[in-house]
Structure 1
Amino acid sequence: MALNKGFIVIFGLFLIAFSKKGCIIGSSSPEEYPFYPMALTYSLKFKKLNFYNKVVLEKEGEIVVDRGSFRLKGKGAQDQGEVIFFSDMKDLHTRDDMLSFSTFSKEKYVLSGFSNLFDVFLRDFMRVRNEYFADTLFMRSGMLMHEYEGTVEIENSFGKIIPRGKSRIQFYEGSIVIIPETRECFPVYYGLIKGHEFDDSDYVLRLFLFNGQNIHISKLGTSFDDVKETMESLLGKMYEKAVNALTEFLPGFDATTLLKLVFLVKEGRLIPFKALKKIHEEMPERVGELLFGANPAMKEKALLLRRMGGDENFYISISFGKSRETGDIFLRTWFLQALPDKNLVATGRTSGADDNVIHFFRIIMHQGDPLEKLEAKILEIDQSMLVFRYDFSVVYKDRRELRKSKFKVALRKLSFLRLLRKSYIGYSCATDIDRFKEDLENIFIKAAAPSETVVAAAR
């Protein structure tokens, strides 16, 4: 089994910590980043355009930026202006000391006339906006442990470099939040990091993600060694917690074997079931018992799906949570079965005896080979589970209901969530295998129908 450099370093640190039954590397007390105590005001000129780019309003006045919104108003006390929420902004562009954006209601705004204060305004505006999105888009996972400054670049899956410039890099217990000075912030969840590398010659931290992107963090200066220690400490603690939990739920395996399993599943990634045998000969049987031992009805339905889709398309997920009431560790297990011939994936939670719901998604919406797009669909499910802490209601609940929930901003801003919701077909909660077979026939019909005619309604 090939292991990258990051794993080897974390593995060594973990074994030391495991033998001592203590923390891996200590970290300082978290410090909250200071936020604006009051609204920010700048003088400007602004235009409002309609869908056809016709100017419908043009004024000279001011912009008042607050925590979740801003107000554009003309001169004079009688002008109350117009409030625009950050969540209503669809996109944002800057050019020649002008900021332009459109809204989901198809209106366009152009802000200019900042004199020589445009750069100062832009940094303030983006800082407030990014703080809002970091909270409402679930970027911050756990406590803030450390914050650093550096320069960030994103390398997309096609090899194109997208500069993000000078940024604050915040290390939380479960994620890294990158907040550029003049660009949108974004998170990197530890559970979605494929590997990482510290380039000691160029003082660069490179993060390799499962979505094909690479993140390059440079110009860390004298903080480079501290960043390295923080990163390896947080990853090590994540692995240590998971191994300690698995020791209880999968007794009999040594720490090295369990760590290999944790390195694959991270914080609950769906992994191919066939990969378990490479870890240990007994691992497939033991994990299968862990998934379905308390739920024979779900096991029977999963076996039916496996016969249809093949063992090579069978995936499992293992993660852990802590009870708020008792503090006890509990187990979360899921399975996913792909049926490429039917353009379907089926997934369901199995860890409880009462778990009986299996959700169904299309793999492709229009044209293409479902088998080629399967990895992307599984990644969408992985992201949803990790970001929303396994609250699957955000995937299938009615949009009107979610607009009043904590997920309302995510529905607009997170592309993977929109794609997953669009591909959702429905679910079956049948406990009887014959009834489940009937449900499957209805699901197959929906999956074969044109996507625009299918409503994601639960049976």
Structure 2
Amino acid sequence: MTRESNDQNNGKNNPEDISKVTLEYPLDYLLTDDDNTPPAEGHALARLDEEKLMVVPEPGIPFPIPYRDIVSITPDDYRLKLALSSGETLTLFNLGYKYQDFIRDITRLRNQVLIKDLLMEETYSGVAVKAQLTSIDPHTGLSTALGCEARLYETGLVIIPEHQYPFRLPYGVISGITKQDYAITLTTDTGERFILSKMGNQFDLFGQTLYQAMSNLSLKLQQSIKDLLDKTSPLNARKITRIMKDGKAVKKMDIQAIDPKLWLRLEDKINNHSIKEEYHFLKSLGRQDRICIGFKRGLMGDLTDEYIWFLVPIYDMDPTKPGNAVAMTAFTTKNRNGATYFFRIAGREEYKTFHSIQQLDQKTDEIINMLNFSMLMVNFRREPIYLSENQLKNPRYLKYRFAVDNLHSLKTLRNLFIGRVIHASPKQWKQDVMNLLTFNVSERSEDKRWSKRR
């Protein structure tokens, strides 16, 4: 078949269009592993479709390689080496003048699958540029530089480094942005720095679209705040927008320091919803000055519904009292969520060692910041947090396997996760909450989760 060009057109393209066709390339292949098994090799036809590379030997039995099973793609002197999750290496060569086309196609198709698997799916802005990415570690100061593609989406920037996994930077975790010497520097809430440069004539378009996307999110939140608080000043609206950007859950004391009325209006949103009984029960157990509420509009493409979530930290200086947990519940104004999720504040043995409530307060603030950051990084998805390792083996949940293995924020959430309590009847829900909190302070194993089936 004739391959249509997918090159950029003034930075505007749709990187997903290529996934709608099947591409074919004649080539030679060599499949090897580490246990001295005789290699499989010969001439073949390589077929690329939406989900996999299919190698069709001539003659021989075709064998499929899902893109999820490709650990890395490495070009080497007109040969392409694919490291597979099985430990095997597939080398593809003799592609002739189609070598670069094949690299571009398999990379883009694989990236589309990984972007979905890494929970990055959302509305694409239409702007994608080639750039050099320099990453600077906040702890060591060490930097790495490599080529990448940078794509702008509605609520985040997706960066696809050459021969590495894509990753997403939600606009809500970007605390600073500067443009200088044809480079854009992004600083995150955790202190990481990412510098995008060498964008050529796409620099201005990319920078303008990035600023516009971040501005749109800010304006959307400011409008939501004005809807909640008819008489709040523009200055207070901007202050609140900065601390609640992109749906972050913010502590009661921090919101009240700007506008005490906003906290009451946020609680009104909960009180007007069927979730209010659960909220007030958790509130009665928790540290009320550290309860957090966050909200946003337009989550997952819904432009009218409001997504509201709250965090209630539950802890005490008495380590035997049910607690050492942050309860998280999320709902929309149209529908309620079906469960409350619980995360550990401290390790179960560590929890017994705190000498003052101030130490526990500080630890809780750290965990709340981590939960905020991690929930934004996983785009507020909750299902991959609670699924067990056995459940992840189910073909139904295969889409989450790659994210669980490779998305650091999701690993963090799963490591802290204690269990979830389904909202059945109010009486049963309250009993299950207390059972979970009691389990969490009595269980010695650090990684054991609560289950109602116990």
Per the normalisation by structure 1, the TM-score is: 0.75
CA RMSD, aligned part only? 3.9
1:317 to 294, 308, 319: 294
Alignment correspondent of 1:379: 370
Q: Which residue of 1 aligns with 2:46?
A: 64
- CA separation of 1:365 and 1:48: change in aligned 2, threshold 3 A: farther
Which residues in structure 2 correspond to 1:16-415 (within 5 Å)?
31-33=13-15, 35=18, 37-41=21-25, 43-49=27-33, 53-55=35-37, 57-62=39-44, 64-67=46-49, 68-72=51-55, 74=57, 76-77=58-59, 79-90=60-71, 99-103=81-85, 106-111=86-91, 120=100, 122-158=103-139, 159-165=141-147, 167-199=148-180, 202-292=181-271, 294=273, 295-307=275-287, 311-312=289-290, 314-321=291-298, 329-339=304-314, 342-349=323-330, 357-363=339-345, 372=363, 375=366, 378-380=369-371, 382-384=373-375, 387-388=378-379, 390-397=380-387, 399-400=391-392, 403-405=395-397, 407=400, 409-415=402-408
Partner of 1:9: none
Q: Deviations over 1:370-403 (max 9, x none)?
A: 8658646753565446644x45333334525864
**d(CA) in 2 for partners of 1:44, 1:368:** 57
Structure 1 residue 335 displacement after superposition: 1.3
Tell me which moved more, 213-222 or 357-366: 357-366
Q: Which amino acid aligns with 2:439?
A: I
* Structure 2 CA distance for aligned equivalents of residues 365 and 116 of structure 1: 57
Q: Deviations over 1:325-361 (max 9, x none)?
A: xx87232221112346654221113666966842112
Alignment TM-score, normalising by the size of structure 2: 0.76
- Other-structure match for 1:21: none
1:242 Cα deviation after fit: 2.0
Instruction: Give the match's secondary structure for 1:224.
Output: helix
Change (3 A) 1:227 1:250: same
Q: Distance in 2 between matches of 1:108 and 1:168?
A: 28
- Which letter maps to 1:267? D
For 1:215 and 1:367, locate their aligned partners in 2 and report how far apart those are by CA, in whole Å: 37
Shift of 1:233: 1.4
Deviates more, 1:213-222 or 1:133-142: 133-142
* Alpha carbons 2:378, 2:410 under 8 Å: kept: no
- Letter matched to residue 226 of structure 1: L
Structure 2 counterpart of 1:445, one-letter code: F
Find the counterpart in structure 2 of residue 14 from structure 1.
Answer: none
Distance 1:425 1:56 in 2: 47
Distance 1:450 1:246 in 2: 43
- The 3-state SS of whatever aligns with 1:197 is strand
Report the alpha carbon displacement of residue 266 of structure 1 after superposing the two structures with TM: 1.6
After superposition, the Cα gap between the structure-2 partners of 1:216 and 1:385, relative to the gap in structure 1 and judged at 3 Å, is closer
Partner of 2:449: 454
Identity of aligned residues (%): 17
- The question of whether the paired residues in 2 share the 8 Å contact of 1:99 and 1:110 is answered with yes
Q: Distance in 1 between matches of 2:164 and 2:381?
A: 29
Q: Counterpart of 1:416?
A: 409
Q: Does 1:436 align with 2:417?
A: no
Cα distance in 2, alignment partners of residues 117 and 374 from structure 1? 57
Preserved contact between residue 308 and residue 332 of structure 2 (Cα < 8 Å) = yes
**Shift, 1:237, TM fit:** 1.3
* Contact 1:381-1:420 within 8 A present in 2 as well: no
Query: How many angstroms does 1:89 deviate by?
Result: 3.4
Matched, 1:427 2:420: yes
Structure 2: runs of 5 or more not aligned: 1-9, 352-359
Structure 1: stretches of 5+ with no match in the other structure? 1-27
Change in CA separation of 1:189 and 1:114 when aligned onto 2, cut-off 3 Å = farther
For the 8 Å contact 1:45–1:61, the answer to whether it is kept is yes
**Gap change, CA 1:356 and 1:226, over 3 Å in 2:** closer
SS of aligned partner of 2:286: helix
Distance, in Å, in 1 between the alignment partners of 2:128 and 2:300 is 29
Question: 1:257 deviation in Å?
Answer: 1.8
- Provide the rounded CA distance (Å) in 2 between the counterparts of 1:377 and 1:63: 52
- After superposing the two structures, state which structure 1 stretch, 174-183 or 261-270, moved more: 174-183
Q: Deviations over 1:169-192 (max 9, x none)?
A: 222222222234443332222223
Q: CA 1:231–1:127 in 2, change beyond 3 Å: closer, same or farther? A: same
Give 1:25's aligned residue: none
Q: 2:4 — aligned with what?
A: none
Partner of 1:12: none
- CA pair 114-152 structure 1, distance change in 2 beyond 3 A: farther
SS of aligned partner of 2:246: coil
User: Which residue number corresponds to residue 356 of structure 2?
Assistant: none
